[in-house]
Amino acid sequence: METVLVYAGRASEEWCQRLATAAPEFRWLSDADHPQAAAATVFVGWNPPPGWLARLPRLRLVHALGAGVDGFLARTDLPPEVPVLRLLDAGMAEQMTEYALLGVLMWQRRLPLYRQQQMQARWKPWPPRPRGEVRVSVLGLGRIGGQVATALAGLGYRVAGWSRSARTLDGVATRHGTQGLDALLAETDVLVSVLPSTAETRGLLDRARLARLPQGAMVVSAGRGDQLVTRDLLALLDEGHLAAALLDVFETEPLPPESPLWRHPAVILTPHVAALTVPEPAVRQVVTHLRRWLRGETLPAMVDRRRGY
């Protein structure tokens, strides 16, 4: 019987019970101090304390309880030969679509502008923007980003998407590579980033690229916080080149109280809640992956460490 150690902070026991009910053929533990914990060959969870994984000398597999795995790949207590699995969706694509739509609607209905007018006690209506004229660009066209792009296109928005390699999506104008990104940015009203954190995406949205967005564009950041250069974003907001930003992810989380993002009038913050893991589909996916892994099957959820996802 394989022993699986589960860590999800204060929710560890809850996740452990859910997983044990779904797959009783495994031995599930939620306590690293349990006498049998050192025998664990599988870890399931997210963000264990530093050094925690070094307590598992027989570790053969890590399964993240999320789609992002940059935190695991950067750990010094996780041997590079140990494979890492991730959730492919588990209810997150629908939430991410809603979050992206929230940002798009804010720009379409001029909420940032009306918020400024409210602070000035200024009553001035502006003409509507038809959906078909709102240009939305989605950065990252993987399993989640692809669904975000196609869903927005299905609602009637002019949607384009960018990925590292070429992709094809119904109703979405797709581009790839550096030249493709530069061209896409120049034709974007609302930029939605759902990219993973990789060596290629860190610092991707700096001043040079953000300045390619048209005057009055909006940025929605819901992928990973290390892609967006905060000082460059703030400068372009202060200069009036960008209209607003809706930010869910940050390079340091929780966001430090001294960050100027908290108090900027053109920035709306949420605490990394754009797409939370939904327990029921996540449990089903984890159990399916572990069973297939034991059978030696190929898994699309297996992380390519060179690519970072």
**Pair 257, 282 in one domain:** no
Asked if 219 and 210 touch (Cβ cutoff 8 Å), the reply is: yes
Query: With 90 as the cut, is the pLDDT of residue 300 above it?
Result: yes
**Do the domain assignments include residue 299?**
no
Cα 230 to chain centroid, rounded: 17
Tally of domains within the chain: 2
284 is catalytic: no
The tens digit of pLDDT for each residue in 143-177 reads 999 999 999 999 999 999 999 889 999 999 999 99
Rounded CA-CA distance 23/291 in Å is: 9
Share of the chain above pLDDT 70, in %: 100
pLDDT of 33 above 90: no
From CA 111, how far away is CA 265, in angstroms rounded?
Answer: 12
According to the model, what pLDDT value does residue 297 have? 97
| 300 lies in some domain | no
**Residue-range definition of the domain harbouring residue 34:** 3-89+277-294
110 and 229 housed in the same domain: yes
Q: What is the CA radius of gyration of the chain?
A: 21
Do the domain assignments include residue 210?
Answer: yes
- 80-86: long-range contacts at Cβ-Cβ below 8 A with a sequence spacing of 24 or more? 80/305, 83/302, 83/303, 84/302, 84/303, 84/305, 85/61, 85/289, 85/293, 85/299, 85/301, 85/302, 85/303, 86/301, 86/303, 86/309
pLDDT tens for 232-273 read 999 999 999 999 999 999 999 999 999 999 999 999 999 999
Residue 308 within a domain: no
Instruction: Answer whether residue 31 shows pLDDT above 90.
Output: no
Same domain, 83 and 182: no
Helices (H), 229-299: 230-238, 279-294
Band of the pLDDT at 21, cuts 50, 70, 90? very high
Residue with tokens 């695991």: 72
CA distance from start to end of the chain: 29
Same domain, 194 and 285: no
Considering the chain, what percentage of its residues have pLDDT values greater than 90?
94
Query: Could you tell me if 160 and 139 lie in one domain?
Result: yes
User: What confidence score (pLDDT) does residue 90 get?
Assistant: 84
Same domain, 244 and 285: no
pLDDT of residue 48: 94
Note whether 37 and 117 are same-domain residues: no
Measure the CA–CA gap between 221 and 219, rounded to whole angstroms: 6
264 is catalytic: no
Task: Tell me the pTM.
Answer: 0.93
Q: The CATH number of the domain where 39 resides is what?
A: 3.40.50.720
Two tokens at 295? 């059978």
Q: Which one of 86, 110, 224, 289 is the catalytic residue?
A: 224
Q: In sequence order, which ranges of the chain are alpha helices (DSSP H)?
A: 12-22, 70-73, 92-108, 111-119, 143-154, 177-185, 207-210, 230-238, 279-294
* CA 151 – CA 1 distance, rounded (Å): 43
Residue 89 pLDDT level (bands cut at 50, 70, 90)? confident
Q: Is the Cβ–Cβ distance between 71 and 255 less than 8 Å?
A: no
Tokens 């007018």 map to which residue?
117
Q: What is the largest CA-CA distance in the chain?
A: 69
Active-site residue, from 264, 272, 284, 292:
272
- Do 194 and 265 have their domain in common? yes
Q: Looking at residues 69-86, what average pLDDT do you find?
A: 95
Res 137: pLDDT? 98
Q: Could you tell me where the beta strands, DSSP code E, fall in the chain?
A: 3-7, 27-29, 42-45, 61-64, 84-85, 135-139, 158-163, 173-176, 190-193, 217-221, 242-247, 267-269
